[in-house]
Chains A and B, each alone.
Chain A
Amino acid sequence: EVQLVESGGGLVQPGRSLRLSCAASGFTFDDYAMHWVRQAPGKGLEWVSGISWHSDSIAYADSVKGRFTISRDNAKNSLYLQMNSLRAEDTALYYCVKGITMIVVVVQNDAFEIWGQGTMVTVSS
Chain B
Amino acid sequence: EIVLTQSPGTLSLSPGERATLSCRASQSVSSSYLAWYQQKPGQAPRLLIYGASSRATGIPDRFSGSGSGTDFTLTFSRLEPEDFAVYYCQQYGSSPSITFGQGTRLEIK
User: Which residues of A pack against B, CB within 8 Å?
Assistant: 35, 44-47, 50, 59, 61-62, 95, 100, 106, 108-118
Total count of chain B residues near the partner, CB < 8 A: 27
Q: Are B100 and A108 in contact (CB under 8 A)?
A: no
Contact A108 B47 (CB under 8 A): no
Check if A44 sits within 8 Å of B98, measured CB to CB.
Answer: no
In the complex formed, the residue of B with least CB distance to A104 is B92
The dominant DSSP class at the B interface is: loop
B35: which A residues are within 8 A, CB to CB? 111-112
Q: Is the CB of A110 within 8 A of B92?
A: yes
- Chain A contacts of B102 at CB under 8 A? 44
Q: In angstroms, how far is the closest chain B Cβ from the Cβ of A23?
A: 16
**Given A46-B100, A61-B97, A115-B44; A108-B92 close (CB under 8 Å):** yes
Interface-centre pick from B47, B93, B94, B101 (highest chain A CB count, 10 A): B47
Task: Give the residues from 91 to 109 in chain B that come closer than 8 angstroms, CB to CB, to chain A.
Answer: 92-103
Closest to A45 in B: B100
